[in-house]
Amino acid sequence: MTEAATRRRTPGAPCWVSLMVHGLTTTQEFYAALFGWEFQPGPQQLGPYVRAMLDGKEIAGIGQLPPDRHLPIAWTPYLATDDADLTAESIRSHGGTVGVGPLDAGAAGRMAIASDPAGAVFGVWQAAAHLGTAVAGSHGTPVWNELMTREASTVGKFYAAVFGYEVEPADPDRLTLRLDGRPVASVRGVGQDLPRDRGAHWMTYFEVADTDESARLLIELGGHVLRPPHATATGRAAAVSDLEGAVFTIVTTPGG
């Protein structure tokens, strides 16, 4: 288990993941059983919201949508910034859209929710009291974020312009986003294979002790396996979805 948030994150670094759902209680029960999360109340500026915890350390956030809001249910990564307002201006000037904020989340920090030119939604987080995910590398913690989009190079330029990433080509139509030489996220262009019902979207990877066992448990809990466990360059992974259809990947990485 690695401490991940003893200090403010480098601007552009993924620092938090959050999920907005209709059934807050049932979603908590699902992830508690799958990942061992416990929950504590979080900032309520956008409605009921809880923070998922492991051993008393913050891992992720889950909020409740108003009954009349029918938005896509999806895990959303938050990217660190030292100035949410300035970053929001930069997002707009480079062809993105700011849908929520910037606004204060109590004493925790200042946030915005935006989308890139291809429509993928992400958050921006200016930390104050809350620095972000506090643990990485153990069962139930987010370990990677990958943007699934139609074509990688153009949208990669957007993120490089807004967040200062160094963009490194990897496989065909795949990019690695680096900060100070360190990989922090990736962009994959999948062309016509992009799901029509979701469009461009960020995919959060959660570490698990055993991908196959977690996939079986997830099915028992009412979730769905979209791509069965398989070997990847980073470990054994499976693409899955929760009770309300939020898609994520579970992965067992070497040494994870």
Exposure class string for 21-54: b at 16+ Cβ within 10 A, else e: bbebeebbebbeebbbbebeebbeebeebbbbbb
| Cα distances (angstroms) measured from residue 166 to each of 81, 153, 158, 178, 209 | 16, 12, 12, 5, 31
Collapsing DSSP to helix, strand or coil, 11 comes out as coil
Question: What does the block give as tokens for 243?
Answer: 């009770």
pLDDT for residue 1: 44
Instruction: Locate 238 and state its tokens.
Output: 């499976």
Amino acid at 30: F
In sequence order, the 6+-apart residues with CB closer than 8 A to the CB of 89 are none
SS3 of residue 69 by DSSP: coil
pLDDT of 168-213, one tens digit each? 998 778 999 999 999 999 999 999 888 888 899 999 999 999 999 9
Q: Which residue has the higher pLDDT, 220 or 45?
A: 220
The DSSP call for residue 221 is: T
* Tally of CA atoms within 13 A in the half-sphere of 130 that contains its CB: 24
pLDDT of residue 22: 95
pLDDT of 99: 95
Digit-coded pLDDT (tens) for 71-114:
789 999 999 999 999 999 999 999 999 999 999 988 899 999 99
- State the amino acid at position 42 in one-letter form: G
Torsion sign (Cα): 36, 70, 186, 249: positive
Looking at residue 67, what is its pLDDT? 84
What dihedral do alpha carbons 15, 224, 44, 141 form, nearest 10°? -30
| Per-residue pLDDT, 116 | 98
Query: Which pLDDT score is estimated for 172?
Result: 79
Residue 4 confidence (pLDDT): 52
Encode pLDDT of 24-41 as tens digits. 999 999 999 999 999 999
